[in-house]
Structure 1
Amino acid sequence: MDTERSDDDSELPSGKPQRVDRGQQTGDLSIETNITRWSEVPLFFDFDDLLPEIGEFGLYQKILFVLMIPFCFIASFVYLSQIFMTLPPENYYCFVHELTLIESEEERKMLSIPKEADGSYSHCRMYDLNYSAVYLAKNRSEYINDSLAQLPCRQGYVYDDPFNFRTASMEFNWVCDKDAYSTYAQMIFFFGSVVGCLGYGHLADRVGRVSALVSSCGLALFGSIFSSVCDNFAGFVITRFVVGASFDTCFTMIYILVLEYVGPRYRTFVANMSLAMFYSPFTVLMPWLAFYSGDWRKFSGLYGLAVGFGLIGFCVLPESARWLVSVGKIDNAIEILQRVARRNRRQVSRLKWQTFRESCEQFYREEIEGRHFTIASIFKRSRLARYMVLMIIIWMTISLVYDGHVRAASVLDRENIFAVFSIACATEIPGDLIVTITLDRFGRRWCACISTALSGGFSLLAANIDNPIWVLAAALAGRFFANISYNIGLQWAAEVLPTVVRAQGVSFIHTLGFVAMLLSPPIIYMSHLSIALMLNTLGVLGILGGLLALFLPETLHQDLPQTLSDGNQFGKDQRIWHFPCCGAGSRPSHLNKHDWHQGSSLRTLSKDEYRSRKLHRVAVVKTRRRTTPIVLPSMVSDDSTIMEKLQKSYRFLPPYAK
């Protein structure tokens, strides 16, 4: 913990660099600066440098971590509620009003419903009879005849639901010739996600992260409430489009906001444990909330409860300090960070706050300079363009495989759908833990390759075995590895892209992931034809994504690219079999203890972080102390040249330090 310095520490350091005799040093000269009380202060002091001073994971960050709970519920509800609300019925047949007074269901079916080739009663057809006459007949068995004319159901359907959960598909009769309506509704939900991802990205850049978070949760509440009162397909899909538009933002904003205030060494832990402790348990619970609500309208109304709890968080959530700096509100950012320090009972010297302010001003100028870069800039460099195309394909594949496995749980075992769905969701918890343990040890590339390929392999295995128990077990194993690959995918993309286009690039890739998810409901609809066809499709996609992952560079123990030129050279010397645990590049050879966070970490998930190469160069020398000499090349022959070189080296110092 830092202690407050005396009043002298606020004095502006001054003085000229002086020639120092360092004894017998062949061919080199040494220079030492006469900067007083500045030995502990770096030349560039960014957010990740300040976090250890104000507390990397203190009381304030732990409160923010706990405040993620209602938003994890909101995210899991918005994502999974769509599946249960539109769940198609398994057993149903034509409703015949004239026969409702016949007590025996079997007799009603024999009189009105023809049988299929396998001996089961038809779901969608009925006999063309005068059922009033059938009901009044003394010997109704005379009307039982398989050769009678048939026609589609005219009066609705009778649903045999053992779980007593009435879905929108049942209420609106989305079966038989309308059985694709539930698939359309889910596709429109993801189309809303694409629009919302783009729209809220611009909104968050203009009005702030917390405002975007509040408005997205409010939009989801509005859509959920109106979903529960709509009475036709058009109204339902419009409200689900609205809910889909909020899907990504209602969790991503709080996720990034909390990671931003957590120290670099805790971010991998917080990023994955928040999913394992909060999000995943809610996904396990979600099927049973649907089950005990008994009706899709009541289930949709439960969303208001989660938003009510979320309102508590809205009152105490801080605005993104990085966003405040990016729009020039540096005083507001420092005020929030000082509040964090007070809550964590940490003291930071005035000189460090002043240095941080100067660095923020430089940061803001760099952010302004970087705004002329666009997504098109990535495709002007051949290697970087290749990386971008690969990342798009890989992320779209991973997103499609993951969402496909989530939805596949609803068709693998219809007799035990709620239990199977909970078990499938429970596989996310160990998946999150494994990512936490392995990602920073074995690297992104091989973890993504192996997990995605194994997901595809188990899906192919499930598609080609006959035992229903083993089919279910193999499909759940595929879901487990899909969870792992999904957690790795987007972080990896953020680390490969250079800083100047990272925010735009990650957002673009993320949006295309939702575009890929549009295809997930049609893939699940294939289960009407064959479950094996559905699983084979997911399997082929998984193996394809896993193999493509080998063609992206590894980011573990690597300096992340800052400029477009860096990005175009990144990974150039890596072989396809490069493995970070052994061989060349297995250790972070040139990142000192102060600069380790310049390498790969979850800090790259921040959507508003920009830093150019020249600021990185300043940060590299930030640990030099007053008593540490600066060695200049032997070609420097006189004191005036030494002073000139030194001044150029220090041109980015705060004004009072020059």
Structure 2
Amino acid sequence: MVSEMLKRDFGTQATRNERDSTDKAQEKRTSKSVKPPANKAQQTSNVSSNIPNFRSPYENSPSGLDESFSDIDTNIDFDDLLPEIGEFGCFQKILFSLMIPFCYISAYVYLSQIFMTLPAEHYYCFVHELKLIKSEEERKQLSIPKLKDGSYSRCEMYDTNYTAVYHATNRSQYINSSLPRIPCRDGYVFSQNEQFFTANIEFGWVCKNDFYATYAQMIFFLGSVVGCLGYGHFADHCGRLAALVSSSSLAFFGSLFTGMTKSFWSFAFTRLVVGASFDTCFTMIYILMLEYVGPKYRTFVANMSLAMFYSPFTMVIPWIAIYLHSWRSLALYGSIPLAFGLFSYCCLPESARWLVSRGKIDDAINILKKVAARNKRVVSKNYWKRFRESCELFYKEEFEGRNFTVCSIFKRRRLARYMVFMCLIWMIMSLLYDGHVRAASVLDKENVAVVFTIACATELPGDLLVIVTLDRFGRRWCAFTFTMLSGLFSLLGANLTNATSTLVAALAGRFFANVCYNIGLQWAAEVLPTVVRAQGISLIHTLGFAAMLLSPPVIYLSNLSLALMLNTLGALGILGGFICLFLPETLNEDLPQTLSDGNNFGKNQRMWHQPCCGQGKKRIVHVKHTWHEGSSLRTQSRGEFRSKKLHRLALVKPQKSNANAFIQTSRVPSVISQNTEVLERVQNLRPEDSVSKPK
């Protein structure tokens, strides 16, 4: 069709008039055939009327496409609106401060279950017949064998007649190290000097039963996997605020009932419930904060919220546990601040982007108007009207658009390879991070609280290091360097003989594990294309929790050898560092929007590509995207290039002498390939019309 038009004689007025009359007739037929959509939602009943005619501005304007482009550019998304209502004003600062209680909730949920099942260090077999002997040392000499290092065994006792030993006049004659040994049969005697009375002590999860504590930790992360999957669906359908409140409720009531449990199975069930709330109870407030903050403040806010709020709470939790002295008190009293999450509806706004994605555009605009009022910004009614039209258009397109699932990623070879590598990297980083967090409880069992506090203190400089280096050296080389350093320091600590040197090396490994963990998820979000980003991140995050199921068994290796545990963590760090080199760099790159973009992303980068030292790219010519998709309004992103209006084209003025050059320079393949009104308008362009870029 286009080629036939170009072969015509554009110089004759008769032909021009004939084409105009044909266009007008076609336009009348089209207007009769278009019907308004069915009653899908009240908010979208007038969407069709808000979509402007792309051809009429061109036909009625002497300046060609200038007015049509101006009409296209009147569409506003959230990134356009935020500078008008305030990017980091009073409203955002209040919202930022409201992250404090949720940072406590996240720190408490994550670390309390570690302290509740801390392994006891000083204990020995209880012998019922000798309980009336006042001297503890005498009881040990009569019943407990000694090890090679001179200490008493914790899990064995002598097999002898203890009734006769108790009633003997001279008990010292029964002290005999050659007696046969048996496992403890009457329970255990724990030291009164234990800093914290754990569930292991109360339920006797030591010696042959010490695996119960490991199982309880694994069940917690099993709940995290279930919660991550369930809340992802729940948040999309019921809202971010509903997910935040319900997850905080699970954490609150689950912790309360944990303090009332009487057996392993009841304890495990309550930890499963609390684990289901983990991550969601902080992720939702984290998302809300980033959605209402301007783009240039997001990196700062994302990392400073962790550095200023989360890190200090992780340092405080060990001392709260020691102050309360009992795991039941920690579960009951430590969970009281979690009740704040139940009242979130009173002080937190719903996600305006989510409201738009559900068609509740009036509610979203009311919230945004309150944001503008709080920030003392004035926005014109015309600006709100144009924003409403953009939201209505996007809602209609997302409602009627094609569906994409995470399975769509694996239909393209390169993108599927990226996804596999990202899953592996995130699983390794998650296991490495959680393993180092738990390792603090076994590195120095005599000073657990002190070591744990120092280890948690590494979170703060780690968050700051991410802010300084990530946008300077790029994601790939930062992830490679810090993950490798974490592995190398872990291997170094495993092969040192001095206990203090081993502790310092392990803490250095923890520090770099913090950094690479912060990089991992942001990197994955940038590599995945927009249309499957949310679902892809959900899958990667879920696999990360699944990997954390293995961290308690890794820490359990410390019962065999501390070096074995650190060597395992070191090997994971080395492996994860090498895999990082197979993912593309995203710094200073246009992030992929479609599956095709994702499949081609990074194709032009060499292995040594380094953003801060040079481009490191192959010398190939890229087709530059000349449109803006308005991705900040696409909260669910279930279509690929469905928008007919928010593709902001920048057509190049054609040369009148070459008709083919006009088509080659003016068409945008990704848009023209769709059967849209933009295609129809471009096909009807005349070479003599003036075409200019939008202002």
Indicate if the aligned counterparts of 2:432 and 2:569 stay in contact, CA closer than 8 A: yes
Residue 411 of structure 2: SS of its match in structure 1? coil
SS in 1 for 2:581: helix
> What is residue 341 of structure 1 aligned with on the other side?
372
Q: Which residue of 2 aligns with 1:416?
A: 447
Partner of residue 407, structure 2: 376
Q: CA deviation at 1:526?
A: 0.4
Cα shift at 1:44: 2.9
Classify the secondary structure of the residue corresponding to 2:124.
Answer: strand
| Structure 1 residue 199 corresponds to structure 2 residue 233 | no
Structure 1 residues 439 and 293: alpha-carbon distance in aligned structure 2, compared to 1, 3 A threshold: same
Matched, 1:33 2:64: no
1:233-260 superposed Cα distances (whole Å, 9 cap, x missing partner): 1111111111111112111111111111
Q: State the Cα distance separating 1:576 from its structure 2 match.
A: 1.0
* Residue matched to 2:554: 523
**Partner residue of 1:248?**
279
2:326 alignment partner AA: D
Whole-Å Cα distance in 1 between the matches of residues 238 and 292 of structure 2? 19
1:169 aligns with 2:200: yes
| 1:227 pairs with one of 248, 255, 258 | 258
User: More displaced, 267-276 or 313-322?
Assistant: 313-322
**What is the CA-CA distance between 1:450 and the residue it aligns to?**
0.6
Residue 65 in 1 paired to residue 99 in 2?
A: no
Matched, 1:153 2:164: no
* Greater RCO (Cα-Cα under 8 Å, separation 6 or more): 1
Matched, 1:48 2:79: yes
Which of residues 484, 499, 502 in structure 2 aligns to 1:453? 484
1:184-212 CA-to-partner distances (Å, cap 9, x unmatched) read 11001101110111111111111111111
User: Per-residue displacement from partner, 1:213-238 (whole Å, max 9, x unpaired)?
Assistant: 11111111121111111111111111
Corresponding position: 1:291 with 2:328:
no
Pairwise CA distance, 1:42: 3.3
1:468: which partner in 2?
A: 499
Distance, in Å, in 2 between the alignment partners of 1:635 and 1:365 is: 42
Between the aligned partners of 2:67 and 2:284, the Cα distance in structure 1 is 44
Amino acid at match of 2:681: K
TM-score computed with the length of structure 2 as normaliser: 0.83
| In 1: Cα distance, 2:195 partner to 2:583 partner | 49
Could you tell me which of 583, 590, 595 is aligned with 1:559?
590
Q: SS of the counterpart of 1:318?
A: coil
Amino acid at match of 2:221: F
Q: How much does 1:99 deviate? A: 2.4
Report the counterpart of residue 178 of structure 1 in structure 2. Answer: 209
Distance 1:645 1:148, change over 3 A: closer
Kept in 2, the 8 Å contact 1:383–1:569? The answer is yes
Partner of 2:347: 316
Identity of aligned pairs, percent? 64
The structure-2 alpha-carbon separation of the partners of 1:195 and 1:528, relative to structure 1 and needing over 3 Å to count, comes to: same
Contact map agreement 2:258 2:328 (CA 8 A) in 1: yes
Question: 1:44, 1:619 within 8 Å by CA — same for their partners in 2?
Answer: no
* 2:681 corresponds to 1:648: yes
Residue 530 (structure 2) aligns with: 499
Deviation at 1:512? 0.3
* CA distances 1:447-505 after superposition (whole Å, capped 9, x unpaired): 11111111011101111111111111111110001001100101111110111111100
For the residue of structure 1 that corresponds to 2:335, the secondary structure is: helix
SS in 1 for 2:387: helix
Deviation at 1:543, TM superposition (A): 1.0
Q: How does 1:478-489 map to 2 (within 5 A)?
A: 478-489=509-520
Q: 1:174 to 1:509 in 2, by over 3 A?
A: same
Which residue identity is paired with 1:426? A
1:262 corresponds to which residue? 293
CA distance in 2, matches of 1:479, 1:590: 43
Give the CA RMSD over aligned residues: 3.0
- Is the 8 Å Cα contact of residues 57 and 65 (structure 2) preserved in structure 1? no
Which secondary structure does the structure 2 equivalent of 1:169 belong to?
A: helix
Distance 2:529 2:648 in 1: 18
1:635–1:475 Cα change, 3 Å: farther
Alpha-carbon separation, structure 1, partners of 2:657 and 2:541: 51
The residue number in structure 2 matching 1:111 is 142
Q: Secondary structure at the match of 1:231?
A: coil
Q: Which residue of 1 aligns with 2:387?
A: 356
Number of equivalenced pairs: 612
* Counterpart residue identity of residue 310, structure 1: G
Q: 1:276 is aligned with what amino acid? A: A
Letter in 2 for 1:273: M
* Amino acid in the other structure paired with 1:213: L
| Distance in 2 separating the partners of 1:645 and 1:293 | 67
Whether 1:570 aligns to 2:585 is: no
**After alignment, is 393-402 or 576-585 more displaced?**
576-585
Query: Retained in 2: the 8 A contact 1:91–1:161?
Result: no
* Structure 2 residue aligned with 1:81: 112
Q: Is the 8 A contact 2:630 2:646 kept in 1?
A: no
How many angstroms does 1:617 deviate by? 8.9
Tell me by how many angstroms 1:290 deviates: 0.6
Please say if residues 363 and 610 of structure 1, whose CA atoms lie closer than 8 Å, have aligned partners that are also in contact.
no
SS of 2:479's partner is helix
**Alignment CA distance shift 1:275-1:127 (3 Å):** same
What is residue 30 of structure 2 aligned with on the other side?
A: none
Letter in 1 for 2:249: G
Q: Please state how far the C-alpha of 1:647 moved relative to its aligned partner.
A: 8.0
* Structure 2 partner of 1:654: none
Change (3 A) 1:595 1:267: farther
Aligned pair in 2 of structure 1 residues 392, 225: CA closer, same or farther (>3 Å)?
same
Cα-to-partner distance string for 1:247-297 (whole Å, 9 max, x where unaligned):
121111111111111111100001000000011110011110111110000
- For the residues of structure 1 that align with 2:253 and 2:287, how far apart are their CA atoms? 24
Distance in structure 2 (CA, Å) of the matches to 1:67 and 1:502? 27
Report the equivalent of 1:25.
none
Q: How far is 1:515 from its partner?
A: 0.6
The answer on whether the counterparts of 2:228 and 2:542 sit within 8 Å (CA) in structure 1 is: yes
Residues 634, 549 of structure 1: CA spacing in aligned structure 2 closer, same or farther, 3 A cutoff? farther
Question: Paired residue for 2:689?
Answer: none
- Call closer, same or farther: CA 1:607–1:248 in 2, change over 3 Å: farther
Contact 2:117 / 2:213 at 8 angstroms: preserved in 1?
Answer: yes
1:378–1:385 Cα contact (<8 Å) kept:
yes
Conserved? CA contact 1:67–1:313, under 8 Å:
no
